[in-house]
Amino acid sequence: MTPPAPPTERPNVAPGRLLATLAGAGAVAGLLIVFVFGWTQPTIQAYKARMLQEAVYEVLEAPDHYDTLYAYAGALHDSPPPGVGPRDKGLEIVYHGYRTDGTSIGYAIPAGEPGFQDVIRLIFGYDPETGTILGMKVLESKETPGLGDKIEKDQDFVSQFQGAGSPLKGMKARDVTGTDPHEVAMITGATISSRAVIRIINNALERLQPAFQSSVAERSP
């Protein structure tokens, strides 16, 4: 590397020119991004939708078909309740899966809360009639690679949710008795992430419990 040349006297540049340069560069940058956004967004959205659909099938153990339901203020609706926007905080979407003979398997519930790094979004299956979790799948997480991301990659951890009783109890691996269906062994080295998963599921169920109860009551008069 040669040493930088000694500073030479530069003519003063008009402020307008500086402004114009930056504005021009900004406009071009904006246009480029809008163009690429328009080009990539359909693919990204389609991928997310497909992932969600696959996740619903996975956590409900391959339902024959499923309905999309809207939970709002302690009740389940077939369509978004009037006057409630799609971004309303109280509105949650759940998926109700059925077997081939038309009997209910349970609900797939997407939920998200902060984990160790960022919001963890997951989906889990729940059968309100028996109060058991059917399965859990992490949709989005930025947990530490190699540690926190075991909440989605460690099959031993993920498979525990299948058939676990609600509410879940997070236990240290050595304290697990193996007889209590509510127990979930947390991952050593990923305690915060494991606890977050358990908390997300418990909180979501607590929120949605009234809606499920009213819906079960409706179906079995």
Partner 1 sequence: MKQTTPQADFLRGVWRENPVLVQMLGLCPALAVTNTVANSIAMGVATFFVLTGSSLLVSTFKRFVPHEVRISTYILVIATFVTIADMGLEAIVPTVHKALGAFVALIVVNCMILGRQEAFASKNPVGRSLLDAFGSGIGFMIAMLMMGSVREILGNGTFLGMSVFGSSFEPWVIFALPPGGFLTLGFLLLTLSWVQRKRALKAAIREWPEGVAQRRTA
Q: Are 79 and 86 in contact (CB under 8 A)?
A: no
Minimum Å gap between C-beta 1 and partner 1 is: 8
Residue 123: closest CA among 152, 145, 148, 100: 152
* Residue span binding partner 1 (CB under 8 A) among the ranges 26-34, 60-68, 101-109, 168-176: 26-34
Pattern 163-192, binding to partner 1, x per CB under 8 A? Answer: --------------------------x---
Q: Tell me which residues in 42-61 interact with partner 1 (CB under 8 A).
A: 43-44, 47, 51
Among 64, 129, 140, 206, binds partner 1 (CB under 8 A): 140
Q: Does 65 bind partner 1 (CB under 8 A)?
A: no
Q: Does 90 bind partner 1 (CB under 8 A)?
A: no
Q: Does 219 bind partner 1 (CB under 8 A)?
A: no
Q: Are 138 and 52 in contact (CB under 8 A)?
A: no
Cα 137 to Cα 171: distance, rounded to the nearest angstrom? 20
Binding site for partner 1 (CB under 8 A): 1-2, 10, 13, 17-18, 21-22, 25-26, 28-29, 32-33, 36-37, 39-41, 43-44, 47, 51, 117-118, 140, 142, 144-147, 189
